């Protein structure tokens, strides 16, 4: 008799743990999305609207799932506050975050099928001067808690770090030669540098920290895996249907 009961449980067990798609969609519709100013991945345009690679992809994912969601309501926060919200509030989700082992353990990450290059960058006019210095003599600006800072620590690169709260403040320190270099995503740095009136040709990478970083949507660790899987599947459909590359090309000029 016990064997028959056990076999019956095995038969019906998958249904007990089946993904309730309706429930998952309700959860996704109620998520409080947040982001930072991280162009060209996510930023406000001249009209004050949130635009960029991640907002456009997120809009297509929600459209594919049949969920009405307006990205205009998404908050843009300082990076440190975004991390705090993601740490303590399960109803929040965010973008865009570069993968690190610590972040992969702390959150549920869903990567875009694109890669970022994180480097130490400097003004070309300073290159000859920098060549005469050892790494431990360099002063490098970082955004507090950002991937550039994380990689400098994890790779034990012995530069003197100067914390800033935004890419703009970090780049201004470089432009006015208050630091020797910065550690940041190359695409974002070039975009921000141009936005501040700089010429990309006057700005270059001096040391690569990671050539193949993944960039992610971020969910709290307790977010329903059913909902996350639905999100992943819809993102995969966009990639298969060739919808991601045109968005990338719209914002990134290689």
Are 107 and 157 in a shared domain?
no
**In-domain check, residue 152:** yes
**In-domain check, residue 4:** no
As a whole number of angstroms, the distance between CA 63 and CA 57 comes to: 10
Mean pLDDT of 62-81: 90
Instruction: Give the pTM.
Output: 0.78
CA distances from 4 to 11, 13, 14, 17, 78 (A): 11, 14, 17, 21, 58
As a whole number of angstroms, the distance between CA 165 and CA 123 comes to: 21
Tally of structural domains, the chain? 2
Residue 108 maps to which CATH number? 3.40.190.10
Query: Cis omega (within 30 of 0) on the bond before 40?
Result: yes
Are 106 and 130 in a shared domain?
no
Are 67 and 179 in a shared domain?
no
Per-residue model confidence (pLDDT) at position 141: 97
Are 150 and 189 in a shared domain?
yes
**In-domain check, residue 102:** yes
> What residues contact residue 119 under an 8 Å CB cut-off, 6+ apart?
183, 184, 186, 205, 206, 207, 208, 209
Are 128 and 44 in a shared domain?
no
**In-domain check, residue 221:** yes
Are 97 and 120 in a shared domain?
no
Are 36 and 50 in a shared domain?
yes
Mean pLDDT of 135-142: 95
Q: Is the dihedral of CA 188, 191, 195, 196 positive or negative?
A: positive
Are 205 and 218 in a shared domain?
no
- pLDDT above 70 (res 1): no
Structure tokens at 247: 């968005």
Are 133 and 197 in a shared domain?
yes
The whole domain housing 163 covers 116-212
CA distances from 215 to 53, 63, 113, 116, 245 (A): 11, 21, 8, 7, 15
Are 106 and 218 in a shared domain?
yes
**In-domain check, residue 2:** no
Per-residue model confidence (pLDDT) at position 134: 92
Are 110 and 191 in a shared domain?
no
* 158-191 pLDDT tens trace: 999 999 988 889 999 999 999 999 999 998 898 8
- pLDDT above 60 (res 247): yes
5 or 167: which leads in pLDDT: 167
Structure tokens at 154: 């994890």
- pLDDT above 70 (res 16): no
Three-state SS for 216?
strand
Which of 140, 147, 115 lies closest to 36, judged by CA?
A: 147
155 or 188: which leads in pLDDT: 155
DSSP run (H or E) holding 161: strand 160-164
Mean pLDDT of 248-253: 83
- Give the DSSP letter of residue 38: B
Mean pLDDT of 89-111: 94
* 201-246 pLDDT tens trace: 888 999 999 998 899 999 999 999 999 999 999 999 999 999 999 9
Q: pLDDT band for 12, please (50, 70, 90 cuts).
A: very low
**In-domain check, residue 138:** yes
> What residues contact residue 89 under an 8 Å CB cut-off, 6+ apart?
32, 220
**In-domain check, residue 32:** yes
Neighbouring C-beta atoms of residue 31, cutoff 10 Å: 19
**In-domain check, residue 189:** yes
Are 222 and 110 in a shared domain?
yes
């Amino acid at each position: 008799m016990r064997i028959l009961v056990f076999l019956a449980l095995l038969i019906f067990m998958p249904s007990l743990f089946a993904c309730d798609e309706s429930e998952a969609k309700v959860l996704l519709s109620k998520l409080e999305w947040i982001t930072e100013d991280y162009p060209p991945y996510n930023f406000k345009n001249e009209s004050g609207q949130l635009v960029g690679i991640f907002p456009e992809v997120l809009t297509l994912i929600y459209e594919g799932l049949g969920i009405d969601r307006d990205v205009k309501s998404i908050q843009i926060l300082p990076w440190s506050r975004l991390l705090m919200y993601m740490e303590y509030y399960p109803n929040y989700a965010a973008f865009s975050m570069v993968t690190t082992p610590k972040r992969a353990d702390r959150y549920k990450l869903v990567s875009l099928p694109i890669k970022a290059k994180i480097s130490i960058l400097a003004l070309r006019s300073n290159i000859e001067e920098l060549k005469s210095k050892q790494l431990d003599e360099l002063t490098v600006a970082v955004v507090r808690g950002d991937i550039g800072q994380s990689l400098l620590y994890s790779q034990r690169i012995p530069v003197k770090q100067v914390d800033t709260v935004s890419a703009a403040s970090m780049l201004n320190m470089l432009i006015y030669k208050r630091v020797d270099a910065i550690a940041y995503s190359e695409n974002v740095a070039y975009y921000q540098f141009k936005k501040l009136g700089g010429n990309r040709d006057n700005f270059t990478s001096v040391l690569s920290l990671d050539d193949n970083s993944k960039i992610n949507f971020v969910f709290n660790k307790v977010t329903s895996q059913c909902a996350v899987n639905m999100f992943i599947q819809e993102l995969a459909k966009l990639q298969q249907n060739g919808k991601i590359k045109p968005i990338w090309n719209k914002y990134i000029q290689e």
